Chain A
Amino acid sequence: MLSKEETKHIAKLARLGLSETEIERYQKDLSSILDYIEKLKEVDIKGTKPFTHPIEISNITRIDKAKPQPTEIAKKLIDLMPGQKDGYLKVKSVFE
């Protein structure tokens, strides 16, 4: 069973501002899902290589250079920002 403190710590790592009631609910939910997942401990994985991707492909690289985009695209993206000033993304100050 996950402790309440652990659950709070995970919520913080996940950047989820949860209430006390929600923390309690997720503590219970996650614990029962983790119990189910324990099943995997039965599997003999000796000598098995981890599988990261369903198809074998090699790395695809390109020159690290921005592709020029029409200004309408930039405008659309800026319009989607919750806070903006003079075409720049506005954020709260990081330092007090």
Chain B
Amino acid sequence: MNMKNFPQTIKKIQEGLKKKDFTASELANSYLEAIKEENEKIFAFLNITEDLALSQAKAVDESIAKGEDLPLLAGVPCAIKDNMLVEGVKCTSASRILENYVAPYDATVVKKLKDRKAVILGKTNMDEFAMGSSTENSAYGVTRNPRDLERVPGGSSGGSAAAVASGQAVFALGSDTGGSIRQPAFCCGIAGLKPTYGSVSRYGLMAYASSLDQIGPLANNVEDARIVFEAISGRDPLDSTSCELKPFLETQGKKFTVGVPKEYFIKGIDPEIEKIVKGKIEQYLALGHKIEEISLPHTEYALACYYIIATSEASANLARFDGIRYGYSSKEAKSLLEIYMQSRAEGFGAEVRRRVMLGTYVLSAGYYDAYYLRAQKVRALIKQDFDKAFEKVDAIFTPTSPSLAFKIGERTQDPLQMYLSDIFTVSVNLAGVPAISVPCGKIGDLPVGLQVIGKPFEEATLFAIAKDLEDQI
């Protein structure tokens, strides 16, 4: 059966399975074939979990044969970023230091997908420990953008975005610390949601910056992103920052007021991107919604603030990789101290070492007040900017990224230039609010995306607005 004969959205897959147009095993096999064909070229997957996928698909088929009720994700082929644990499957975070690490248990999000009978096809490539904006920082190779193979897919969830955009998975999970779901979704032309901090459990996600990290879906359309978000969210006793969510409010037919912050349309943004995003906002206005110019005055400090807070937390979180308890351990080391020093130097890639160094420096004696404490206060001001804006508007429109997917190798020599890829996405993580990136046009073959930022725990509004934008394309 040809891939093209299968439906591509979650609801249509469910209908097809129920009507017995195809089996879950046939669907899983067609995706596994697509991966085998594409992976050499695109390299979205670090590890293909064929046996797991086929046994999960078989269980779905048996359940259908018995006439049992199907959960909505039953038989839906998906991919998981390689920083989330799937029991019995290698989990490397694209790092040498975890080259042989096999997950001893399931992350909560993975358990939730398994409970809903989704089919896990494999683990996707990423920037090592989610540190990067291009997936070039993987220890195992670069993922290519399916829209243009000479370009990066964005990052750090680049493998997840590339897999979904090239038909190698119906949806994928990513993690977003400063834009790592939204920016690759922008680069690959798909939808990507960074949920409100606390709405999805982080248990079993390898921590990068714990006060910023959040797991979310990447999908070909807004409805699928919503279905996956509803499946993975909610309170988990194993993550004390996770929250019980209130049921979504009805948004059908509601007219929204959306703010457009002047600080996001500044020098440095690709003028073509600005034109497309502004055109899209005009279209939205024409649907009868209101648009208001707003101000988020501390926007220009967000990136500096982010790099202090994220690297501080990373330097503490990555201290666990010591060459002793698990992961790579240097064979050359002669003393305990040498084991730490050598295992970490040999096991971590250049960007991870750079961020651990920066975080260690800003937290070190004598610098704490000047950097970390100051950054936490600036973070409070950034959050206040959003609180004030949300007194007037229901949501905010911005471009997701100031520049299109760039060429492989173009930014690897200049870390600061790479960091600027996240200039429009980091504020959202600092404030803990939700945001979704949706495709809104193209320049040549390269996709452009618009970011919709919402009030905490009001993902329903984001989905409603994003759906309207999607229907306009």
Contacts and interface: CB of A to CB of B under 8 A. Distances in A.
A82 B100 CA distance: 10
B383 A40 contact: no
A31 to B, nearest CB: 10
A45 B381 contact: yes
A43 interface: yes
A12 B315 CA distance: 13
B198 interface: yes
B149 interface: no
Given A10-B361, A54-B383, A60 B240 contact: yes
A55 B359 CA distance: 23
Given A40-B378, A43-B378, A82 B354 contact: no
A44 B142 CA distance: 42
Contact of A51 (B325, B341, B377): B377
Interface string A24-48: 0010011011101111111101001
Interface string B143-160: 000000000000000000
Contact of B298 (A7, A10, A43, A80): A43
B353 interface: yes
B360 A36 contact: no
B301 A16 contact: no
A91 interface: yes
Contact of B361 (A30, A76, A80): A30
Nearest to B382: A51
A66 interface: no
A40 B415 CA distance: 19
B243 interface: yes
Q: Is chain B's interface secondary structure helix, strand, loop, or mixed overall?
A: helix
Question: Which residue among A2, A7, A16 has the maximum number of chain B CB atoms within 10 Å of its CB?
Answer: A16
A89 B415 contact: no
A85 interface: no
B104 A82 contact: no
Q: Which of B334, B338, B356 has the most CB of A within 10 A?
A: B356
Given A29-B415, A57-B198, A82-B323, 10 more contacts: A10-B361, A15-B319, A17-B338, A36-B303, A37-B362, A40-B305, A40-B378, A51-B379, A57-B241, A91-B339
Interface of B: 101-102, 104-105, 196-198, 211, 240-241, 243, 298, 300-301, 303-305, 307-308, 315, 319, 322-329, 333-342, 344-345, 348, 353-354, 356-358, 360-362, 364, 371, 373-381, 383, 415-416, 419, 430-433, 456
Interface of A: 2, 7, 10-18, 22, 26, 29-30, 32-34, 36-43, 45, 48-55, 57, 60, 73, 76-77, 80-83, 89, 91-94
